[in-house]
Amino acid sequence: MKKQNDIGIDRNTRFVHQSVAPQNIDEHNWYYEEKDGIEIIHQVTAGGMDCVRTDSIFIPWERLTDTVRRHWGTYN
């Protein structure tokens, strides 16, 4: 897993349609644009803001495309 806010990642020009760097949502959440979809990372913290664990979910591009079409009212 790449580290959040890591800007030292080399970009492969064959994949210009996706970013290889983490895309920040907020301090404890970010996502990666993968070949087959988006991987969302969430850090679960305790009282002192210590990371207890890190959760991850994967959403395929097809599901995201359907969602965006519904949102913009262009779903056929």
Residue-level pLDDT, tens digit, the chain, 76 residues: 445 555 555 555 554 566 778 999 999 999 999 999 999 999 999 887 788 999 999 999 999 999 999 988 876 5
**Structural contact between residues 39 and 19, judged by C-beta atoms closer than 8 angstroms:** no
Residue 22, number of CB atoms within 10 A of its CB:
20
CA nearest neighbour of 38 among 16, 23, 55, 54: 23
pLDDT of residue 50: 86
Residue 38 structure tokens = 């988006």
- Cut 0.85: pTM above it: no
